[in-house]
């Protein structure tokens, strides 16, 4: 159920492995494209086109939009989106509940057709802890009259994917199987071993293709916590980069030197965190603990401080989420400060926004940091043009046309095509001022400045007033709101 970034490669691998596999999606245009031999995923996805061709040649792969196919299914994999609300950060399981209801309607009607036939339902979607035991299995048991461990097996096997590595991660990444009965566990392990390659001697444990077993609750926590952990790491890198900007230091040099110390693997800072997983999984991890979260007060990022506090209680996880949410706004603040430092009227300038997807060489725009940035630009009445080589709406115009006559080029995504750009080419097309604001560490300062352009990078903002290293982002105003404040 769902043939997006998760469901499409999974159903193709199932067909390749010998199963009769059907991809189901409510998006009829996507289904039509797939049945014509197309591929709706347009980013660089090694092996996916070849896999789809190979799976189609078997005659075992089909795509439909009707849920009637569930009547004859032995295994149903749910791979639908599970977003959280922007306001209260609670999960919104509209697609998941709809999936369960459509399964129940079809399966209930087939009981008379095939007496005693068993069914396994696997949820690969990322869900809050407690969702399988508290929502999914009770709904399926009640609707179908079946019983877990007897003729119904409900399993949580969360995916560990990212665009650009879909096939590799499905086939070789270790997975966690959550289940509430030993029979469910055994059936799920037998199934997944058909598409996941076990490599016991691989030097990196995550690529051994191990199938670890746990309770449903543990599996749900593992998935949400591993993304929350990465979110916290990125938040540290971002805040350190902003600190370096305030001090007038080069974050990338600082990072390089820190990483020479064992177990100090500082992540890259950037223009924002996007995608379907990281921006929501921290909230999913926290969402089920009402009493715990009631002791924590959420604050949006103000100045350079981000914290949850109430009765001396703090949340590193929620605080990191707020901080990373602020990163695109920080890019906007940099743009304004750079304009003021260079005596540029932003209402009369031309800005080129380079990159709209959330990830390099991907067409995935879910929770795009660029989307947040342009919302701020729109509110401020600042004109801009967007380019992205993988997003349909923004790849029609060439890079040269987007840059032609622009005063500023804001690089939001490190697409491979952008990394191949030479500063001399940027200088050729851009207008007077020729300012590069690099949100992904794509260029080297010396290379850009050697072409007579001005360079600003996240974590590497060269201040003009060396006597007062706090002047740039404060733009000459009082610093009381922009300085970092730490609580005792």
Which among 81, 83, 69 is positioned nearest to 119, based on CA atoms?
Answer: 69
pLDDT over threshold 90, residue 469 = no
- Specify the residue for token string 């922009």: 482
Which among 389, 428, 382 is positioned nearest to 405, based on CA atoms?
Answer: 428
Which among 162, 155, 152 is positioned nearest to 176, based on CA atoms?
Answer: 155
Determine the topology of domain 228-488 in CATH: Rossmann fold (3.40.50)
Confidence (pLDDT) at 117:
80
Confidence (pLDDT) at 110:
53
CB–CB of 355/419 below 8 Å?
no
Segment 271-316, tens digit of pLDDT: 999 998 999 999 999 987 766 666 665 444 444 333 444 344 578 9
Segment 201-233, tens digit of pLDDT: 999 988 999 999 999 999 999 999 999 999 999
**CATH 3.40.50.720 residue ranges in the chain?**
7-214, 228-488
Q: How far is CA 367 from the centre of its chain?
A: 7
Confidence (pLDDT) at 294:
60
Segment 340-394, tens digit of pLDDT: 999 999 988 889 999 999 999 999 999 999 999 999 999 999 999 999 999 999 9
Determine the topology of domain 7-214 in CATH: Rossmann fold (3.40.50)
Cα gap 244→265, rounded to integer Å: 17
Q: Which residue has the higher pLDDT, 11 or 206?
A: 11
- Give the confidence band of 433 by pLDDT, cuts at 50, 70, 90: confident
CB–CB of 214/175 below 8 Å?
no
CB–CB of 163/8 below 8 Å?
no
Confidence (pLDDT) at 485:
37
- Could you write out the DSSP letters of every residue in 64-123? ES-GGGGGG-SEEEE-----B-TTT--B--HHHHHHHHHHHHHHHHHTTTSTT--EEEEE
Structure tokens at 154: 């409900």
Provide the H-helix boundaries in 116-215: 131, 137-144, 166-172, 182-192
CB–CB of 44/362 below 8 Å?
yes
Pair type for strands 175-179 and 152-156: antiparallel
């Amino acid at each position: 159920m769902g043939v997006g970034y998760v469901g499409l490669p999974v159903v193709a691998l199932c067909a390749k492995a010998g199963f009769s596999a059907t991809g189901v999606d409510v998006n009829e245009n996507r289904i039509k494209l797939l049945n014509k031999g197309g591929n709706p995923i347009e980013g660089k996805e090694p092996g996916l086109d070849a896999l789809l061709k190979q799976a189609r040649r078997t005659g075992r792969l089909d795509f439909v939009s009707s849920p009637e196919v569930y009547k004859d299914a032995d295994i149903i994999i749910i791979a639908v989106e599970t977003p959280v609300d922007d306001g209260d950060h609670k999960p919104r399981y509209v697609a998941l509940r709809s999936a369960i209801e459509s399964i129940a309607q079809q399966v209930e009607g087939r009981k008379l057709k095939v007496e005693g036939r068993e069914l396994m339902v696997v949820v690969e979607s990322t869900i809050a802890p407690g969702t399988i035991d508290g929502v999914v299995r009770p709904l399926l048991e009640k609707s179908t009259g079946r019983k877990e461990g007897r003729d119904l097996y409900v399993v949580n096997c969360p995916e560990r994917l990212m665009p650009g590595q879909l096939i590799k991660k499905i086939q070789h990444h270790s997975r966690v199987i959550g289940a509430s009965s030993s029979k469910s566990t055994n059936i799920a392990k037998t199934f997944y071993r058909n598409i996941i390659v076990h490599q016991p001697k691989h030097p990196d444990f995550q690529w051994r293709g191990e199938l670890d077993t746990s309770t449903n609750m543990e599996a749900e926590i593992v998935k949400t916590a591993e993304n929350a952990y990465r979110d916290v790491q990125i938040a540290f890198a971002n805040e350190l980069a902003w600190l370096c900007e305030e001090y007038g230091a080069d974050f990338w040099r600082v990072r390089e030197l820190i990483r020479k110390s064992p177990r100090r693997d500082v992540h890259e800072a950037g223009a924002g965190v996007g995608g379907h997983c990281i921006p929501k999984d921290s909230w999913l991890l926290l969402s089920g603990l009402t009493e715990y979260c009631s002791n924590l007060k959420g604050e949006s990022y103000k100045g350079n401080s981000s914290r949850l506090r109430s009765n001396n209680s703090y949340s590193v996880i929620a605080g990191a989420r707020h901080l990373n949410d602020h990163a695109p706004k920080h890019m906007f603040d940099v743009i304004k400060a750079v304009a003021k430092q260079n005596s540029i009227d932003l209402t009369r300038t031309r800005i080129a926004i380079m990159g709209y997807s959330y990830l390099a060489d991907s067409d995935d725009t879910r929770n795009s940091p660029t989307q947040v940035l342009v919302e701020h630009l729109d509110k401020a009445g600042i004109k801009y043009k967007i380019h992205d080589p993988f997003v349909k709406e923004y790849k029609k115009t060439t890079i040269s046309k987007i840059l032609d006559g622009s005063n500023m080029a804001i690089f939001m995504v490190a697409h491979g095509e952008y990394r191949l750009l030479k500063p001399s080419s940027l200088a050729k097309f851009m207008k007077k001022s020729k300012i590069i604001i690099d949100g992904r560490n794509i260029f080297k300062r010396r290379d850009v400045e050697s072409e007579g352009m001005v360079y600003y990078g996240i974590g590497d903002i060269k201040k003009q007033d060396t006597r007062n290293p706090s002047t740039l982002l404060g733009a000459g105003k009082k610093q009381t709101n922009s300085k970092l404040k730490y609580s005792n």
